[in-house]
Structures are given as structure tokens and as C-alpha cells.
């Protein structure tokens, strides 16, 4: 057995100091690690010294190596987690240094095997003379190693890596040199840890600054989402992501490269069903969520924080195709052998280069990025809660204001009706008593006055009808749409007969709605179609179509049509596109329609061109049990 002379402590001190001085002169971590293995090999005299670092998934990689020129290099090779199993890792955490001076030595049995005081098996965890496991000895034989020395690198009570020293022949390392190596390993690794923590700290300070800027932006914007996406820096800078999406309610605000809105909806649904953590992250989303393969190019990595059960902030990282060099096939970490009829597992014999192309994977998320995302989540929750309180207060104020306005409209309409009736009565009385004494102009003026009073009465009635349309007065129940339409047509029977209008309709469903308001809705829309007719008799068709979560209705006519630029204006109260001489009315009908649908959580819009008729569309959400009634039968839809 080759022996190395014992190093006097003072000599080792100067050697360690010189090594540390070299380490302090480099800022690059890889160069730093290369100096470490060079200095350790200089101290120990081993044929090969490697620095072996464990990755997040617990497999290892050789990031630095110093060796004899004649030996094959292992630098850059990756090794599966099974090469150093968890029991071995626990032992490395308990012992800073582990020596196997002769891989071919025969182990000697210990006697007794049980502690005579405790009657328990002897614990050899901390024994330097403890034999290595037969499996590990075979592993060393397969690598051509005759002796090994391993120095543990421990960070936060977790095995960060190993300094592995290999010799082709047996090699004894004295106690003094072993302790010197242990000391050198601790001192050197403290420098590595300090550098890593400095890098993390600098990056964390940068992200904290960006976060503070984003919080300031959010507080300045009326909509906090704008504060995250419309400024520089923005949400992407917080995690070095290529894309981000804010899913708030049914709305998606995106920045950078993100999946489609449809893919985002399905992804959020999957997160709701499968993720319960405050933060979720993965660098290989397609492996756990197969639908992500559709957008793997831009979303192989995902970092997600829930703001509430329905709202999420998502960050995406693109796919990075990597080639990983393994020391042997990682899928064949063990080989099976039969000895005397017994199946045994043996470590693999081949350590030849085995290349693997890794797809569906992004760059990993750093812990500081995950921590920053959590801090942003706290800030967002505070903002959302504060806005919820403000909205609740506004809702109270609005409810009180609406109640006062409703009361005012009701009182005003009744108070105004009485003097108007008096004006109308006295004007008509004037006409009856003094008709023979009035000239033609006076008679015309009286006619104008009567028409004005009539218009004012109609306007007051419409304002009162508009004020009565609110959520409190709605009685939601299963309503036959066809019945509501029939009632509307009955009210319009005279005008339909007078104009020769033809009204047709599709088979109709049953919806959750207020039957009176639904009838009023159809009456206003069909009444408008009759009023704004062309020279041809009105042809009106009422359609119905089932969407994913609502019913889409349409009222199509062949009338005069509307210019597209006025498609929003016509739904505003008192807005008219024609004079009263051309088409009588108050401009309230479509405003009432819009308010009815807002109370039903629906929408209304128009598609039209001047001279080509108009089609009014409106939606009513599907609520609970609704029946779809069609010609020839009834279909139940749950």
C-alpha cells in the first residue's frame, strides 16, 4: 500500500492559505471549482479528483476534474440518482470524509454484532473502519478504482456535492491528511456557499426592486392589472419569463409569448382541480399536463400563483432542447445476475458516454424567483381584498342611490301626470268651446299643444318603465320563451295587421328569466322592426341557438337598417337616429332592452347596414335546469 508522508500542520496551513488566495481571485463558479480539485489533488496525490454536484432532481454531474493525462475524462458527465442512493447520501451527511484505502481488501467480521449493553446492532455510522457495501465495491471495480477518498460538501444540512478522489491502486491516507482534507473541504465549501448566496442575494435584491415598482404601478392604476403589464419593468421581468397571463374572472390579460386563450382556460381549469399549493412550478409542464404539448414551444415551463379560487397569475418559459451526456445508460443503473439460483442486483459495468436529448423542458425556476412570486401573491391578495371592500361600499352607495332615484322617478311621474292631464283637458275644452272663434293658425297651435302633452305623457311612462327594470323586481323562474313571444305579438296585433308584417320563429327553449320582462324585450324589438320598416311589408324572424353556457336569440328584419357607427349609440337612453316627424317615439325602447338583459346577466348588440335590414342579438345565460322545447317533443337539458 502506497503511503504519503504526514504533512506538518504549519505546512498544511500555508498550503491551505495559498489555495484559498487563488480561490478568492476568481469570480466564476466553474473556475472556482476547478481550482478546488486541483488543490485537493496536489494535497492528496490521487490519480483523479472530481467535484460532483447534485442537481434539483438528485442526479449528479461532474463540474470539475483534475487527473492524470492517461485517464479517461469524466468532466461534464451526468450520473443517475441511483448511483448514490439515499442511504449512502445520509451517511455522507453524517461523515464529512470517507476513505476506502483498498477496494480489494477483504472485510473482517465484527464481534459481537450486538451491543452487549443495549442489545441492539452496533451502529457503525461514524466508524472510519466501516467496510463499504459490496455493491459500492463492485461499482469501484467497474470504474477501475483501487482506492477512494470522498469529502462531503454540505449546505443547510443537505448534501450539495462531493469531492471524489480516485486512485488506480490501493492508497492509504493518514489521519492527519484526512483531517486536513476535511478542514480544506469545509473552508473551501464555505466560500462556494458564500458565492452562491451572494449571487442569489444580488438577484433577489433586483427582483425585490422590480416587485416594489410593480406594486407602486398597481396602486397608481385604476385597474391593478394594467400596473403589471403596461409599464417597464413589467410582470415578465419578475421571473425572467418569456410570457405571462393574468386570469381574472373570465378575462385573460397576456404579455409576451403565451398559449391561446382557449388553452389558458383549460390550463386554469386543470390547476383548479389538481393544485392546492400557494405556488406551483415545473420546468416540464407537458410531462404532467399532456395538453401542454400543444404549446410546448412557448410553455414547457410554468410558474403559477392563485390569487383566489378563480384567479391566477401564470408565467411561461419556452422549451429548451438539451443534450445531456451520461456516464453510461441512466436507464440501466443496475444489472441482474444469477448466483447459485439467487437473483442479485449489481451496479452497471459500462460508463461509456451515453447521450440523451431532453425535450419538453424549460430552464428551471430559481428559488429566488419562486419566493418573489409568493411575495407578489401576498401583495395581489391585499389589493384584491381592498378593492373588494371598496366595491362593496360602492355597491351599498349605488343601491341606496338607485332606491332614491327609483322613488324619485315614481313620485315625479305621478306628480307630473296630474298637471299634464289638466293642461290636456283645458286645451281640449278650449277647442270645444271656442272652436268657431279660432282661426286656422290657432287650431293648429292647439293641435301642437295636445300632441306635445301626449308625447310628454308617453315619455313619463317610458321613464317610469325604465326605472322599474332592476334586479330586485325580477322574478326568475322557468319561462317558456314561446309563451313570452306570443304575449308580445298579441300586444302588437293591431300594428302587425295594419302593416301586413309576417313574424316567424325557430323552436324555442325554456329559460330562467322574468316572463314579463322577456315579453317586454320581444315587444320592443319586434315593435321597432315594424316601425323602421322599408317599403316592403315587414318580414321578421326570431331565432334561437344554444351556446356553451347561454342561449343566443336573434330578431332579424328587412327594414331600413342602421349605419354601423351608430350600433352602440342606439342603446343609450333618449338617443334617437331619426326625428319624431319621421318616426315617433322617445328613444327609450332599446335602452329598456339593454337594462332588462343586464339584469339577466346577458348582452345585446346589433349587426346591420343601412338599407339592408338589421339583426338584433341577445343572450340569456343557462341557469340550472332548463328545458329545450322543440317541435315534436321536449328535450331536457341539465
* Residue 569 · residue 535 · CB < 8 Å: no
Q: How confident is the model at residue 2 (pLDDT cuts 50, 70, 90)?
A: very low
- Alpha carbon distance 566, 577 (integer Å): 8
Question: Alpha-carbon distance 314 to 291, whole Å?
Answer: 16
Question: Residue 165: pLDDT band by 50, 70, 90 thresholds?
Answer: very high
Q: What is the side-by-side strand order in the sheet with 251-256?
A: 251-256, 243-248, 312-317, 301-306, 280-282
| Average pLDDT rounded to a whole number, residues 59-81 | 89
> According to the model, what pLDDT value does residue 3 have?
37
Residue 4 has pLDDT above 50, yes or no: no
Question: What's the pLDDT score for residue 636?
Answer: 27
**β-pairing, 322-327 with 251-256?**
unpaired
Report which of residues 15 and 100 the model is more confident about. Answer: 100
Closest Cα to residue 269, out of 298, 310, 304, 314?
310
Would you say residue 611 has pLDDT above 60?
A: yes
pLDDT of residue 247: 92
Residue 331, C-beta contacts closer than 8 angstroms, at least 6 positions apart: none
More confident call, 79 vs 317: 317
Q: What confidence score (pLDDT) does residue 629 get?
A: 40
The answer to whether the CB of 618 falls within 8 A of the CB of 521 is: yes
Name the fold adopted by 469-637.
Heat Shock Protein 90 (3.30.565)
Q: Rg of the Cα trace of the chain?
A: 41
Name the segment(s) of the chain with CATH classification 3.30.565.10. Answer: 469-637
Question: Which residues touch 60 (CB under 8 Å, ≥6 apart)?
Answer: 52, 53, 54, 78, 79, 81, 83, 84, 161, 162
% residues pLDDT > 90 (the chain): 25
Q: What grid cell was written down for 481?
A: 320563451
User: What are the distances in angstroms from CA 159 to CA 70, 261, 327, 365?
Assistant: 31, 43, 21, 20
What is the reported pLDDT for 581? 52
CATH architecture of 2-200: 2-Layer Sandwich (3.30)
pLDDT at 525 over 70: yes
Comma-separated ranges of CATH 3.30.450.270 domains in the chain: 221-321+359-365
Question: Where is pLDDT greater, at 332 or 432?
Answer: 432
pLDDT reported for residue 79: 82
Higher-pLDDT residue of 195, 322: 195
User: Which 3 state secondary structure label does DSSP give 22?
Assistant: helix
Longest dimension (CA), the chain: 144
Mean pLDDT in residue range 342-347: 52
| Mean pLDDT, all residues of the chain | 80
Res. 468 pLDDT band, cuts 50 70 90: low
Least confident segment among 378-387, 450-459, 520-529, 572-581 = 572-581
For residue 188, how far is the Cα from the chain centroid?
A: 42
Residue 535's SS3 state is: coil
Residue 222 has pLDDT above 50, yes or no: yes
Mean pLDDT of 357-361: 72
CATH class of 221-321+359-365: alpha beta
Instruction: Give residue for cell 454536484.
Output: 53
Q: Range(s) for CATH 3.30.450.40 in the chain?
A: 2-200
DSSP code, position 613: -
Query: What is the signed CA dihedral for 635, 605, 475, 507, rounded to 10 degrees?
Result: -20
Q: Categorize the per-residue pLDDT at 96 as very low, low, confident or very high, splitting at 50, 70 and 90.
A: confident
More confident residue, 126 or 268: 268
Residue 388's pLDDT is what?
65
Phi, psi dihedral angles at 210 (to 5 degrees)? -60, -40
Dump pLDDT digits (tens) for 263-300: 999 999 999 999 888 999 999 999 999 999 999 888 99
Q: Which pLDDT value is given to residue 181? A: 81
What does the pLDDT look like over 565-580, one tens digit per residue? 888 888 887 666 555 5
| Mean pLDDT across 551-577 | 83
In this structure, what C-alpha cell is assigned to residue 468? 322599474
List, for residues 231-254, the tens digit of each pLDDT value. 889 999 988 899 999 998 888 999
% of residues, the chain, pLDDT over 70: 78
What pLDDT does 6 receive? 53
As a whole number, mean pLDDT of residues 461-469 equals 63
Residue range 375-397: mean pLDDT, rounded? 77
| Structure-model confidence comparison of residues 325 and 82, the more confident one | 82
Q: Is the dihedral of CA 579, 583, 586, 589 positive or negative?
A: negative
CA-CA distances (angstroms) from residue 419 to 279, 416, 425, 454?
68, 6, 10, 12
Alpha-carbon separation of residue 446 from 125, 427, 439, 601 (angstroms): 114, 7, 11, 46
Least confident of 240-254, 379-393, 597-611: 379-393
pLDDT at 133: 82
pLDDT at 8: 54
CB neighbour class for 53 (10 Å; exposed up to 12, middle 13-18, buried from 19): middle
Amino acid at each position: 500500500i502506497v503511503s504519503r508522508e504526514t504533512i506538518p500542520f504549519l505546512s498544511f496551513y500555508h498550503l491551505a492559505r495559498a489555495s484559498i488566495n487563488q480561490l478568492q481571485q476568481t469570480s466564476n463558479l466553474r473556475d472556482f471549482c476547478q481550482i478546488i480539485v486541483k488543490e485537493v489533488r496536489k494535497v492528496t496525490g490521487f490519480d483523479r479528483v472530481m467535484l460532483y454536484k447534485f442537481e434539483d432532481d438528485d442526479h449528479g454531474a461532474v463540474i470539475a476534474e483534475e487527473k492524470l493525462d492517461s485517464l479517461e475524462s469524466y468532466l461534464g458527465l451526468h450520473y443517475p440518482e441511483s448511483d448514490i442512493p439515499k442511504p449512502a447520501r445520509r451517511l455522507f451527511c453524517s461523515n464529512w470524509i470517507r476513505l476506502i484505502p483498498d477496494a480489494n481488501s477483504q472485510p473482517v467480521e465484527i464481534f459481537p454484532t450486538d451491543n452487549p449493553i443495549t442489545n441492539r446492532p452496533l451502529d457503525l455510522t461514524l466508524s472510519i473502519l466501516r467496510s463499504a457495501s459490496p455493491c459500492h465495491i463492485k461499482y469501484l471495480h467497474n470504474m477501475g478504482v483501487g482506492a477512494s477518498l470522498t469529502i462531503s460538501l454540505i449546505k443547510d444540512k443537505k448534501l450539495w456535492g462531493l469531492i471524489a478522489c480516485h486512485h488506480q491502486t490501493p492508497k492509504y491516507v493518514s489521519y492527519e491528511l484526512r483531517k486536513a482534507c476535511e478542514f480544506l473541504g469545509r473552508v473551501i465549501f464555505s466560500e462556494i456557499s458564500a458565492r452562491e448566496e451572494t449571487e442569489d442575494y444580488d438577484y433577489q435584491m433586483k427582483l425585490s426592486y422590480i416587485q416594489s415598482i410593480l406594486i407602486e404601478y398597481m396602486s397608481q392604476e385604476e385597474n391593478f392589472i394594467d400596473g403589471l403589464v403596461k409599464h417597464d419593468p413589467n410582470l415578465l421581468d419578475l421571473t425572467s419569463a418569456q410570457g405571462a397571463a393574468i386570469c381574472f374572472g373570465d378575462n385573460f390579460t397576456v404579455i409576451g409569448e403565451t398559449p391561446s386563450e382557449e388553452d389558458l382556460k383549460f390550463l386554469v381549469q386543470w390547476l383548479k382541480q389538481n393544485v392546492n399549493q400557494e405556488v406551483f412550478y415545473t420546468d416540464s409542464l407537458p410531462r404532467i399536463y399532456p395538453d401542454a404539448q400543444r404549446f410546448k414551444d412557448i410553455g414547457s415551463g410554468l410558474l403559477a400563483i392563485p390569487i383566489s379560487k378563480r384567479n391566477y397569475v401564470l408565467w411561461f418559459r419556452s422549451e429548451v432542447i438539451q443534450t445531456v451526456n451520461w456516464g453510461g445508460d441512466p436507464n440501466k443503473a443496475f444489472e441482474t445476475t444469477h448466483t447459485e439460483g439467487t437473483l442479485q442486483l449489481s451496479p452497471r459495468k459500462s460508463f461509456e458516454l451515453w447521450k440523451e436529448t431532453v425535450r419538453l423542458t424549460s430552464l428551471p425556476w430559481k428559488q429566488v424567483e419562486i419566493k418573489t412570486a409568493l411575495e407578489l401573491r401576498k401583495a395581489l391578495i391585499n389589493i384584491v381584498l381592498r378593492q373588494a371592500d371598496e366595491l362593496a361600499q360602492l355597491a351599498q352607495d349605488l343601491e341606496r342611490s338607485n332606491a332614491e332615484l327609483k322613488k324619485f322617478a315614481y313620485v315625479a311621474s305621478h306628480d307630473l301626470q296630474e298637471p299634464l292631464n289638466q293642461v290636456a283637458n283645458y286645451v281640449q275644452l278650449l277647442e270645444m268651446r271656442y272652436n268657431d272663434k279660432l282661426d286656422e293658425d290657432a287650431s293648429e297651435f292647439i293641435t301642437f299643444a295636445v300632441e306635445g302633452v301626449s308625447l310628454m305623457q308617453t315619455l313619463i311612462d317610458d321613464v317610469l318603465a325604465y326605472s322599474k327594470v332592476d334586479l330586485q323586481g325580477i322574478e326568475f323562474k322557468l319561462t317558456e320563451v314561446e309563451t313570452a313571444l306570443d304575449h308580445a305579438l298579441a300586444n302588437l296585433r293591431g300594428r302587425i295587421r295594419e302593416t301586413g308584417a309576417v313574424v316567424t320563429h325557430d323552436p324555442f327553449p325554456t329559460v330562467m328569466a322574468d316572463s314579463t320582462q322577456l315579453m317586454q324585450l320581444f315587444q320592443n324589438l319586434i315593435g321597432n322592426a315594424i316601425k323602421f320598416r322599408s317599403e316592403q311589408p315587414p318580414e321578421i324572424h326570431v331565432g334561437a341557438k344554444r351556446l356553451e353556457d347561454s342561449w343566443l336569440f336573434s330578431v332579424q328584419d328587412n327594414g331600413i337598417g342602421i349605419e354601423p357607427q351608430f350600433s352602440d349609440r342606439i342603446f343609450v337612453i333618449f338617443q334617437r337616429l331619426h326625428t319624431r316627424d319621421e318616426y315617433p317615439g322617445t328613444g327609450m325602447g332599446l335602452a329598456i332592452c339593454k337594462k332588462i338583459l343586464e339584469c339577466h346577466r346577458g348582452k345585446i348588440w346589433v349587426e346591420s347596414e343601412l338599407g339592408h335590414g338589421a339583426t338584433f342579438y341577445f343572450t340569456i345565460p343557462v341557469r340550472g335546469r332548463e328545458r329545450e322545447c322543440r317541435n315534436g317533443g321536449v328535450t331536457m337539458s341539465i
